[in-house]
Amino acid sequence: MGSNSVFILACLFFLSACASGGSDPYNRAVENYCMGHLSESVESYKQAIILKPSDPQPKFNLAVIYQDQGKLEEAERLYKTILEHDPGFAPAWSNLASIQEKRGQADEAEKSHRRALDADRDGCAAESQFGYFLLRAQRVDEAAAVFEHSIKKNPRCANSWFGLGVVAEAKGDQQTALRSYDNALIYNSSDLEAYVRSAKIMISRGERGRAVGLLQKAASLDLGKGDINLLLGELLLEDGKLKEAENAFELARKTGAPLAECDRELSIVYGKLCEEAACKTR
């Protein structure tokens, strides 16, 4: 999840609707969103809102798109419209809080997070988002308490396990951090950031083989992450796995890693490959 994404609260709504299909405006909007056709998705959500003005879901999904695009006023207006009619809609409180935090309105953001907690007493999504808010405010012990409380309610809450990992890292407790990230991955095996954070801890502890495995898994989840491929290439190069390192650096070069750094590493790889070839011809 990169587990702390503010928009994670919306993803389940999008994905569940993607599976349903259909030709009504709401389902068309979701299908377009899933295919990356955002402008078409926005227009279909607007139609769905007109057809069902009392349904909070089209408003919420549209607000998430606006928020992701940086259109904070439009997103805030929709969240507030939802909450005027349904103050128990916890995801709208959490995402409204993120807008308020971005504007520097920390007190208002905390109030909105607490309204989300009141509306979602049995779940863990709102509570884990509040935990990340506290982490960003450097209220580490409070954040830890929130994550722990969330896990007591729902031991499968990957977001909160990831948060406890971040807390443990901040306190220099690598062992607890690793256990927490492992638990996050048990309940969300596609959490790329948990793999990367675990790998970096392994590197610092000299456990290079495990770090390579974790980075390979992370790279397989998102082929477009140049920084992951660059780090993976460096480890493979140090281990003498030259062709694998070459492939990682080439991929890093194509996916946004610093070109000068990639080219420098590739020149080292090519030099070592030439040395190997020369040795074989003697």
Tell me the average pLDDT across 128-140: 96
Say if residues 251 and 223 touch (Cβ distance below 8 Å). Answer: yes
Q: Which of 19-23, 120-124, 197-201 has the lowest mean pLDDT?
A: 19-23
Residue 80: predicted pLDDT? 97
Q: Per the structure block, which two tokens stand in for 103?
A: 């504007």
Q: Which CATH class is domain 6-118?
A: mainly alpha
Query: Does residue 9 register a pLDDT over 60?
Result: no
Residue 19: predicted pLDDT? 45
Q: Which CATH class is domain 126-189?
A: mainly alpha
Residue 11: predicted pLDDT? 46
Q: pTM value?
A: 0.83
What digits encode the pLDDT tens for the residues 219-266? 888 878 899 999 999 999 999 999 999 999 999 999 899 999 999 999
Tell me the average pLDDT across 164-191: 96
| 5-10, Cβ contacts within 8 angstroms, sequence gap of 24 or more | 6/67, 6/94, 6/95, 6/98, 6/129, 7/64, 7/67, 7/68, 7/95, 8/125, 8/159, 9/91, 9/94, 9/95, 9/125, 9/126, 9/129, 10/60, 10/61, 10/64, 10/91, 10/95
Q: CATH: 1.10.3720.10, 3.30.2130.30, 1.25.40.10, 3.30.2130.10. Which one for 190-282?
A: 1.25.40.10
Residues of the chain with CATH 1.25.40.10: 6-118, 126-189, 190-282
What integer best gives the mean pLDDT of the chain? 90
